[in-house]
Amino acid sequence: MNDFILDDIGALLKDAVDASEDVIKRNIELPKVKEHGDFAFPAFFLAKIMRMPPPKIAQEILSKIEDLLPFGSIESAEVAGPYLNLKISPQILSKKLLAEIFDQGQKFSSSDEGRGRNLTIDLSSPNIAKPFHVGHLRSTVVGSCLYRLFEKLGYNCIGINHLGDWGTQFGKLIVAYKKFGTEKLFEKEPIFALLDLYIRFHKEAKDDSSLEDQARGEFKKLERGDPEATEIWKTFYQYSLEEYKRIYGILNATIDEYTGESFYNDKMEDALKLLEQKRLTQISQDALIVDLEEYGLGAALLKKSDEATLYLTRDLAAILYRKETFDFAKMLYVVGSAQALHFKQLFKIVELLGFNWHESCHHVEFGWIKFGKEMMSTREGNIVFLNDVINRAKELAKEIILEKNPDIEDVDKAALYIGVGAVIYADLAVRRNHDINFSWEDALNFDGNTGPYLQYTHARLASLERKFGKEIISDIDFSLLKEPEEKQLMLTLYRFPQKLKLAAEEYEPAVICGYLYELSQNLNSFYQKHRVITDDTTLTNARMLLMRCVRIVMSEGLKILGLEPMERM
């Protein structure tokens, strides 16, 4: 997008301020008080250079530019304390902005920032042979949102699911399958059948300790490539993958690579040899470590005394493989905050190996998600299975929809979109490093900062276009869009590309959520004071163009988050 407002501000102030246009534009912000203007230039950073109090500097800048106004899109300027506040011409704003949004459509706010650059995202990563639970929800929806966001910014994104598909638990499952499995075991819900086998193994092992030895034996067979053990493991893997892909389809998650822990089995030794060549490893208490004490990161454990490798060993093999295979410009690990030390150790080891790309690796951490006491009962302990959450969300959404709009077509499909959207949005709307206390009542509310509220806003715009029933045109009288509420809507639309960029810089979907909520509130403020379809055809055409532009941005924002832009609700 051509950022015409910032360009105009930079050009206007460049001769009045002892700073470059780029520095001027970087310092532009929103006024503390909305009534003071549309944009503000703070004079604080100039105080040391000019040796004057900021309010006096702001006044001096105004005196130098007063004769130049109006200038481009800038209508007027005034001083409020240490700030130079600028007001934008609604006519120029509408003429430049709305035409661009209308012409570009869904491509509005796209950029070529990432053109020719690969971005890999490690996300979701559940343990196979177990049902997908809410513990993996945040990684999946945050990672998927970032995938779509960076794709919008021109990057070639690769979503990698680092499945937990290796370890002694599979020896336990193989033993349980051989002892308790039947031909009909996987007929109905294979993933829960595997969970039941796992639970039964532990119950039986309490009375028969030999089962643990058998499990270790079966896993050793698996590690050696035993045909029978491998075939059974592949069955577990395949059933798990089918279930996970179903879940990802519902959550709008894009996974390009399913390379779990087992994939790196034959790659770990090369990674360890590389460390040894750089003399980074040492033996401590019979274990192989990299000593990171001088960096405040403790001892990074690579192999236990029994030669068993650990997560860090596999993640080191994985990051080296990913760099070689994808040559990523960025590598994001969307993993919980509890693993912060693990990734600090991993990135430090990459740096010590002499690779200068360690700074392009980022741990996108997040807090816990908790469900209140009203949550449905679960099948085991305090685990909440995502399938139960999805079904519950759909049921509750269906009740609300039928109450509000009993004549809606395909109510089940609408309920799924709204219910799942409510769950996704409740997750993304909270800053990712904060914990979430999930509430069904809050998440499915059609008022306030929720997924259904934003989807309803989009559906209302779609309904308005159906009511209008004519072609929306961009050849309008832009001077008619002069009401304060219209200008506020346009200023909010103008900030969409900036908000996407900020969300990408911070790896923070909540920035987009907050923006869409603000846009919806501004739209409702407009609805309360003005009619869109009026007896004045010229005015109606102008306002319908504005509404179409709001709809385009709302739709794009919802799709980046992973929510369906609803046509009817």
The two three-digit tokens of residue 551, written as one number: 């709809």
Query: Which is catalytic among the residues 36, 133, 221, 303?
Result: 133
358 labelled catalytic: no
272 neighbors 310 (Cβ within 8 angstroms): no
What's the CA gap between 490 and 98, in Å, rounded? 8
What's the CA gap between 199 and 196, in Å, rounded? 5
87 neighbors 37 (Cβ within 8 angstroms): yes
The two three-digit tokens of residue 524, written as one number: 């409702």
* 74: β partners: 71, 88
Among 533, 529, 498, 567, CA closest to 1: 498
Sign of CA dihedral 399, 401, 405, 407: negative
162 labelled catalytic: no
130 labelled catalytic: yes
Query: Which is catalytic among the residues 96, 136, 394, 499?
Result: 136
Q: Find the Cα–Cα–Cα–Cα dihedral 107, 113, 118, 123, rounded to 10°.
A: -70
Contacts of 122 (CB under 8 A, 6+ apart): 143, 160, 162, 331, 332, 333, 334, 335
Q: 46-81 burial by CB neighbour count: b if 16+ within 10 A, else e?
A: beeeeeeebeebbbbbbeebeeeeebbbbbebebbe
What's the CA gap between 319 and 322, in Å, rounded? 5
Query: Which is catalytic among the residues 25, 87, 96, 130?
Result: 130
Which residues are part of the catalytic machinery?
Answer: 130, 133, 136
